[in-house]
Amino acid sequence: MTPHRFTTVGFDLDGTLLDTSGDLGAALNHALETVGRPAVPGAEVYRLIGGGSALMLRRALALTGGDQGIDFAALRQVLLAHYEANIARHTTFYPGTEAMLDALAAQGTRIAVVTNKPQHLADALFAQLGLTPRFACVIGGGRYPLKPDPAALHAMAQACGGGAAAFVGDTTFDTRAARAAATPSVAVSFGFCDAPPHALGADAVIDHFDELIPALARL
């Protein structure tokens, strides 16, 4: 097994560990329907995710006619309520996720999650999927400023006992947070990338989770 130097490896959630686009898209389109907006096709949903539910909704409103006359806060609550009630219907692992987590655990690596998804939703999703015991900590939105602010990554390192840490994500929110936290980062090319994968600013880019531990070993 390829060795690496990191005592902790943190992950973004949406678009990195899990493909949540099906459930997020269903919640988004439910919210849009309540204000008479057309549904966003599944392929387009990928481009809207990243940076939290508020930004996803703002992007969707801009795409479907703008936000004039919209009670944005109320509409976001409609989205979140639908998502919470249907949080794991279509969410799937990306190929290799479970084997990669097993391999990191076998090396004694502490595994963490830092996501802009609200804390209670991250906790609910992991509980339904039986993932909670795999992680040393799960830090969701609401506890610290959202990425790209580095505060949550600093909290992750502290919660995991210090030592060298790396962070894995799929958007500039992740890579900018890692850079601000002086944490090496790996970008996955298969997520909700808001820029071409090699332009995200990560220290390494992988196309499959089979490549993660060798990439960490090179950092």
Say if CB 169 and CB 178 are below 8 A apart. Answer: yes
Say how far apart CA 77 and CA 13 lie, in whole Å: 21
Distance CA 184, CA 181 (A): 9
Q: How many CA atoms lie within 13 A of 165 on its CB side?
A: 29
> Which class does domain 8-20+91-218 fall in?
alpha beta
Region of 195 please: left (phi>0), alpha (psi -120 to 50) or beta: beta
The pLDDT value given to residue 42: 84
Please state, for a pLDDT cut of 70, what percent of the chain lies above it: 100
> For the ranges 53-57, 184-188, 212-216, which has the lowest average pLDDT?
53-57
As a whole-number percent, the residues of the chain with pLDDT over 90 amount to 93
* Domain regions of the chain by residue span: 8-20+91-218, 21-85
Average pLDDT over residues 100-108: 97
Of residues 41, 40, 50, the one with CA closest to residue 20: 50
The pLDDT score that the predictor gives to residue 2 is 80
Residue 108 has pLDDT above 80, yes or no: yes
Span 32-52, pLDDT tens digits? 999 999 999 988 898 898 878
207 Cβ neighbours under 8 A, 6+ residues apart: 188, 189, 190
CB atoms inside a 10 Å sphere around CB 172: 21
Q: How far is it, in rounded angstroms, from Cα 149 to Cα 130?
A: 29
Average pLDDT, rounded, for the chain = 95
Q: What is the mean pLDDT of residues 108-135?
A: 96
Catalytic residues: 12
Element spanning 92, H or E = strand 92-93
Query: Regarding the domain delimited by 21-85, which CATH topology (the fold level of the hierarchy) does it fall under?
Result: DNA polymerase; domain 1 (1.10.150)
